A = this chain, B = another copy of it.
Amino acid sequence: MREVGARGPAISVDDDCPVREVLDRVGDKWSVLIVVLLGQRTHRFGELHRAIDGISQRMLTLTLSRLVRDGLVCRTAHPTVPPRVDYSLTDLGRTLLVPLRALDAWAVAHRDDIRAARARHDAAAG
């Protein structure tokens, strides 16, 4: 396993790159959004549907089932009528909030830098 990073902890990079594994899992269009919302509090299916602007029912179902499958999200179906299903983060899911916060902090701190770089680059060339 090759590693990088002169100072600070290394990031492994090879064939089975853990970072890539995470990104393949939560790097899709909706997973992070859902994890973050569930990090806030438990949500029902419909609540998530309303909270996440633009998501289709299909994608919400799909993404949730993947997250449940990966042990990040917990699904609780109440045998009532009409049915009621609650989704919440598992312990594992909650631990994921930590690195996501780090990424978020970076985004907040540097979004303007990126926009500036873009503007500069686009102005120079096209």
Contact = CB atoms under 8 A, between A and B. Distances in A.
Contacts of A68: 121
Contact of A104 (B12, B98, B118): B12
Interface in A77-126: 92, 95-111, 113-114, 116-118, 120-122
Interface string A51-68: 001000000000000001
Taken together, the copies of this chain in the complex come to 2
Interface of A: 4-5, 8-9, 11-13, 15, 17-23, 25-28, 32-33, 36-37, 39-40, 53, 68-72, 92, 95-111, 113-114, 116-118, 120-122
Given A97-B11, A100-B11, A104-B11, A114 B70 contact: yes
A-B complex: 8 closest residue pairs judged by Cβ atoms:
A71-B117, A18-B107, A27-B27, A4-B40, A102-B102, A99-B102, A22-B107, A99-B106
A121 to B, nearest CB: 5
A124 to B, nearest CB: 10
Given A25-B114, A70-B117, 20 more contacts: A5-B40, A5-B97, A5-B101, A8-B101, A9-B105, A11-B101, A11-B104, A13-B33, A13-B36, A19-B104, A22-B103, A22-B106, A23-B23, A23-B26, A27-B28, A71-B116, A71-B120, A92-B114, A95-B109, A96-B106
